[in-house]
């Protein structure tokens, strides 16, 4: 069965986010995502957001279209949009991971992704094999965490 859709994007925060501002994004995300079966992960590091959204396709797309229009960030670039059998973060209506808590190998995948985002044509990123190698390794590194 592959009835789960996963969408991953990166974006640039318009201004530095305080912990209180991040908390309010997360509170709204959890309130909206949970009832429609959307789970995922949000990371904020160095002015950039990295977010994974997983769930029924129409729910993921509805949430993402609101996120895309959010004035708190810009340059929203989709890195992956595909159907999948398994949620990487089944237990998190929107988990937040502090970038400082990432292991060096996890950070390395994010740094490599950000280089690819800086270098490649945005339109081709979500079909780039190099992007998916780093994404799969990064998501896989959370398995023990995410309880799957
Ligand atoms: C980086 C970022 C991530 C967000 N993630 C979510 C999310 O996962 N789910 C969600 O409903 N809103 C999310 N939002 C907020 C939406 O952009 C939007 O403000 C919200 O969906 C509006 O919900 P409301 O109509 O209940 O106030 C996010 C915003 C930002 C800036």
Please give the pLDDT value at position 148.
35
CA of 137 to the centre of ligand 1 (A): 26
pTM comes to 0.93
Report yes or no: 17 and 44 within 8 Å, Cβ to Cβ: yes
Name the residue of 28, 49, 99 to mutate for ligand 1: max ligand atoms within 8 A of Cβ: 28
Domain that holds residue 86: 4-146
Q: For the domain that residue 59 is a member of, what is the CATH number?
A: 3.30.70.100
Question: For the chain, what is the domain count?
Answer: 1
CA distance 98 to 120: 27
Q: Whose CA is nearest to atom 27 of ligand 1?
A: 28
Quick: pLDDT tens for 108-138: 999 999 888 888 777 788 888 999 999 999 9
Q: Whose CA is nearest to atom 17 of ligand 1?
A: 67
Please give the pLDDT value at position 99.
87
């Amino acid at each position: 069965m592959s009835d789960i859709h996963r969408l991953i994007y990166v974006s640039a925060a318009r201004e530095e986010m305080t912990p209180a501002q991040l908390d309010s994004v997360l509170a709204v995300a959890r309130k909206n995502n949970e009832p429609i079966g959307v789970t995922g992960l949000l990371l904020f590091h160095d002015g950039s957001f990295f977010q994974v959204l997983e769930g029924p396709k129409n729910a993921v797309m509805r949430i993402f279209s609101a996120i895309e229009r959010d004035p708190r960030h810009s340059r929203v670039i989709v890195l992956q949009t595909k159907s999948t059998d398994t949620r990487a973060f089944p237990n998190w209506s929107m988990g937040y991971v502090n970038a400082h808590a990432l292991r060096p190998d996890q950070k390395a995948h994010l740094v490599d992704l950000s280089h690819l985002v800086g270098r490649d044509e945005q339109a081709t990123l979500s079909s780039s094999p190099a992007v998916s190698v780093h994404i799969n390794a990064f998501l896989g590194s959370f398995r023990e965490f995410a309880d799957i």
